[in-house]
Amino acid sequence: MSDVLAGTTALLDPTIGLCLLIGVLLGTLVGAVPGITATMAVALAAGFTLTLEPLQGLAVLLSIYVAAQFGDRVPAILVNTPGTPASIASTFDGYPLARQGRAGIALTSSALASAAGALAGILILVLAAQPLASVALRFGPAELFALVVFGLTMMVGVSGSNVLRGLVAGAAGLLLGTVGRDPITGDTRFTFGMPELSSGIPFIAAIIGLFGIAELFNQLVETRRRNAPAPITQLGAWWPTRTERRELLKPTAIGTGVGAVVGVVPAAGGDIAGVIAWAQARRASQHPERFGRGSLEGLASADSASTATMGGSVTTTLALGVPGDSVMAVMIGSMIIWGLQPGPALFVESPDLVYSLAAIMVLATLLALGLALVRMQGVVKLLALPQHYLSAIIISFCIVGTYAVQSSVFDVALMLCFGVLGLLMRRFGFPAGPMVLGLILGPLAESNLRRALVIDGAGTLLTSPIAVGLILLSLGAVLLPWLRSTSKARKLRARVPENAR
């Protein structure tokens, strides 16, 4: 109980409130602008929050994370374009509702369902993080190595891209993690005489390059035809009727349940949860025929599910040290720089921090809900902002933000290199997420594997039930999508008549 009290009273500092407000405003804005994901925004913000105190910085990053999940519904509903991947399922019913002249009700219902989902997810964090960390505290080197492999393969498996390329990206990330000092002997490796690399690849430069600059470069090289419909500006009635509010309850409960479960799975985020919850809510609905044509139930299920994943993601990140989604991968990097190592030991060293983070998320949710309930004509106008303004703002923030971390021009040059690498990876179908995860968790994986091999020999990975279980789950995460796609291709071939081949 004293940890809860210490964690929440730490937020009484007025600067934390200011950080929260800034984070919520930034998060809502970046969420509302298609093309800027929450991961990209948190990566950019990581550049300037590192100069703040850890709790202040975490307040900015977490509130961007939370508020982006509210802001991204606006373009999903008004322009049929998800602001971030987490709101993909919001377009299924949000845009049809807006076209029916019910954009205001859709926006309000979405905000209410999102807030319910987010708060339920945070409850998972408060209740499940400590027990999960207690289990993880018993992990030895073999189990910790298996946990890293599990996190990495889950990110590859759920990313939806080519599994083989995801694994190669993960291996390349682990390799980048070997740059600098050896975690056991202290020998320098792959620094090529550059002292800037002796403590490893600067993480912020890498993530800003891979997530920020690469995305922008990709937008620059593409022949992009702007076929997006003009934003719907007539929002209509704002507040749902009593019947409509009652209609929201069941799908919100379904969405929250799905999101809470999906969120705990490492690397699975709001996009996956939203689509699953939408399908489940349609199955449970008395009016499944309305789904996809403007159903408030469909919108509520998708939105509550994607926000409910946040609590689960933070739980996995803090308790196991394995990121719950790509935003959490960036957050882990920032926390490590602040001297906070996410994982079971965090609950021993700074138990109050977990409650501080949960309280920050609750406050950010309430602030973002308040902002979403105000008629956001300004946000609607933002949707019409020309792309070149955004590009210039993002590039300048990427450069200055990266420089700000260590006042190093080397970091800026490295960021540019990672931007080009990220662009090439993107064009050739290699996901950036596993590479970032490999870079963060590489030293942890290497040191634990080598320790396990030295202490107990090669058999240790096959004798520990937890390690074996995690490795089997990892194999499942990699093999299942491959088996599914192979079986789908076989079925498709069987359907095509012989003479048509």
Going from the C-alpha of 148 to that of each of 125, 444, 460, the distances in angstroms are 21, 8, 16
Query: Would you count residue 365 as binding another protein (CB under 8 A)?
Result: no
Q: Is 8 in the site for another protein (CB under 8 A)?
A: no
Q: How far is the CB of 272 from another protein (least distance, A)?
A: 18
The helix (run of H) or strand (run of E) holding residue 55 is helix 54-71
**C-alpha closest to that of 478 among 169, 161, 156, 165:** 156
Binding mask 33-52 toward another protein (x if CB under 8 A, else -) reads: ---------------x--xx
Cβ-Cβ contacts under 8 Å for 359 (sequence gap 6 or more)? 7, 8, 11
Q: How far is CA 409 from CA 44, 212, 415, 416, 418, in A?
A: 17, 18, 10, 11, 14
Of residues 230 and 389, the one with the C-beta less far from another protein:
389
Q: Which two tokens stand for residue 476?
A: 């499942």
From the list 132-140, 360-368, 376-384, 411-419, the region that binds another protein by CB under 8 A is 411-419
- As a three-state string, the secondary structure of 309-371 is HHHHHHHHHHHHCCCCCHHHHHHHHHHHHCCCCCCCCHHHHCHHHHHHHHHHHHHHHHHHHHH
Site for another protein in 433-472 (CB under 8 A): 446, 449-450, 453-454
- CB 292, min distance to another protein, A: 23
- Per-residue contact track with another protein, 158 to 197, x per CB under 8 A? ----x-xx-xx--xx-xx--x---x-xxxx-xx-------
Size of the site for another protein (CB under 8 A): 57
237 belongs to the binding site for another protein (CB under 8 A)? no
For the CA atoms of 64, 68, 69, 70, what is the dihedral angle to 10 degrees?
Answer: 110
Sign of the torsion formed by the C-alpha atoms of 294, 298, 299 and 302:
negative
Min dist CB 178 to another protein, Å, is 5
- Residue 397 as a binder of another protein (CB under 8 A): the answer is yes
For residues 147 and 423, which CB has a smaller minimum distance to another protein in the complex?
Answer: 423
Task: Out of 223, 234, 243, 286, name the contact with another protein by CB under 8 A.
Answer: 223
Nearer to another protein, 404 or 466 (CB): 404
Distance CA(72)–CA(213), nearest Å, equals 21
Which residues contact another protein (rule: CB under 8 A)?
48, 51-52, 162, 164-165, 167-168, 171-172, 174-175, 178, 182, 184-187, 189-190, 217, 220-224, 386-389, 391-393, 395-397, 399-401, 403-404, 407, 409, 412-413, 416, 420, 423, 426-429, 446, 449-450, 453-454
